Amino acid sequence: MPPTDSFWRGKRVLLTGHTGFKGSWLSLWLARLGARVTGVALPPATEPNLYHLAHVDKTLDSYYCDIRVEKALVPIVRTVLPEIVIHLAAQPLVRASYRAPIETLTTNIMGTTHLLEALRAIEGVRVVVIVTTDKVYKNSGPSDSFSENDALGGNDPYSASKAACEIVTDCYRASFLGDRAVAVATARAGNVIGGGDWSADRLIPDAIRAWSSGHTLQVRRPNAVRPWQHVLEPLSGYMSLVEKLWDNQPLAGAYNFGPPAHETATVREVLELARAAYGHGEVAYGDGNEGPHEAESLILDVEKARTLLEVTPKWRLAAAVERTMQWYGGQAEGQSARMLCEADMAAYQSVGV
């Protein structure tokens, strides 16, 4: 079910992480739906970045705030008095978590805890969605797919921090917020692609940087399997989850968002689609042993979201990659980042209408 204007119009939404890649897209979409959004985040982490290029700051009330500092976050929450909270703010990169484990753990665990603690002290909040990751599962090797009831774990600091977020969120739901009729859920999304991401150590941004400068893209693990999806897919899922929980608190819990298990793909397959859409580009594939540990295979069981939320992907992988590469191509040619995002959102919402 697509997000509906009639639901979101006028709703007070607190969105953390609004300056990031997914946060910028979600800010634009919520503004398109008429929501009253307040964003809380650090300044954008990359240059260039979608937040500035698409003038996202014009669509919401923005606060620069480190969620690790409780005394900075709490007054903002008390001022906003949100009805809906979507928590994206995080240190979101696996390889960065090896370089900065303490920053990753404190941001992702204590930052989330500070937010949930602040929500305890206010009235009127109805729905809270804490976005974690598909990497929260204890991944010891090849698996058919991970469902929401599988064991949590994490071999790297990022995955461990997000698994801990799941436990902290479940604790606050059971101990504090559930008794106040606040529906608290977690969202575990697969790997996202889409225009406007310039993060380091992400496949498509790395490809764009290499190919646009005439360099060869170096790929560490070409055979790694991931649940790839366009960024609009999980964002639509998060909003559908909010809409369902608004009047149905018993649906609160954990949800996977991603493509069906049979539509996962390897890094090599995604890059071949990207290169075809881009028109050129050299790739040097490694043997899979470079760098710190990362899971070789990660497949999500998304039946719960399909059944309870009526969430099904609209864009197959080839379409998602093509739209992503067209976005970067258009932006490089001088087209407005904001208009490119608006065009993708309009195209996505028109599917099946």
Q: Which one, of 153, 156, 164, lies nearest residue 108 by Cα?
A: 164
Q: Which 3 state secondary structure label does DSSP give 61?
A: strand
280-323 pLDDT per residue, tens: 999 999 986 676 767 789 999 999 999 999 999 999 999 999 99
Taking residues 262-268, report their average pLDDT: 95
Taking residues 13-27, report their average pLDDT: 98
Q: Which 3 state secondary structure label does DSSP give 232?
A: helix
**Contact, 112 vs 17, CB < 8 A?**
no
Q: Please state, in angstroms and rounded to a whole number, the distance separating the CA atoms of residues 12 and 86.
A: 11
Q: Please state, in angstroms and rounded to a whole number, the distance separating the CA atoms of residues 136 and 237.
A: 18
Q: Please state, in angstroms and rounded to a whole number, the distance separating the CA atoms of residues 118 and 116.
A: 5
Taking residues 181-187, report their average pLDDT: 98
Give me the numbers of helices (H) and strands (E) for the chain, helices first please.
Answer: 14, 13
pLDDT of residue 110: 98
Domains present along the chain, CATH in parentheses: 5-196+228-259+296-315 (3.40.50.720)
Q: What is the rounded radius of gyration, in angstroms, for the C-alpha atoms of the chain?
A: 19
Phi then psi dihedrals of residue 253, to 5 deg: 155, -160
End-to-end CA distance of the chain: 11
Tokens standing for 258? 């991603």
User: pLDDT class for 55, splitting at 50, 70, 90?
Assistant: very high
Please tell me what DSSP assigns to residue 146: B
Task: Tell me which amino acid residue 124 is.
Answer: G
Phi then psi dihedrals of residue 73, to 5 deg: -80, -45
Q: Please state, in angstroms and rounded to a whole number, the distance separating the CA atoms of residues 185 and 116.
A: 12
Q: Which 3 state secondary structure label does DSSP give 300?
A: strand
**Contact, 263 vs 233, CB < 8 A?**
no
80-113 pLDDT per residue, tens: 999 999 999 999 999 999 999 999 999 999 999 9
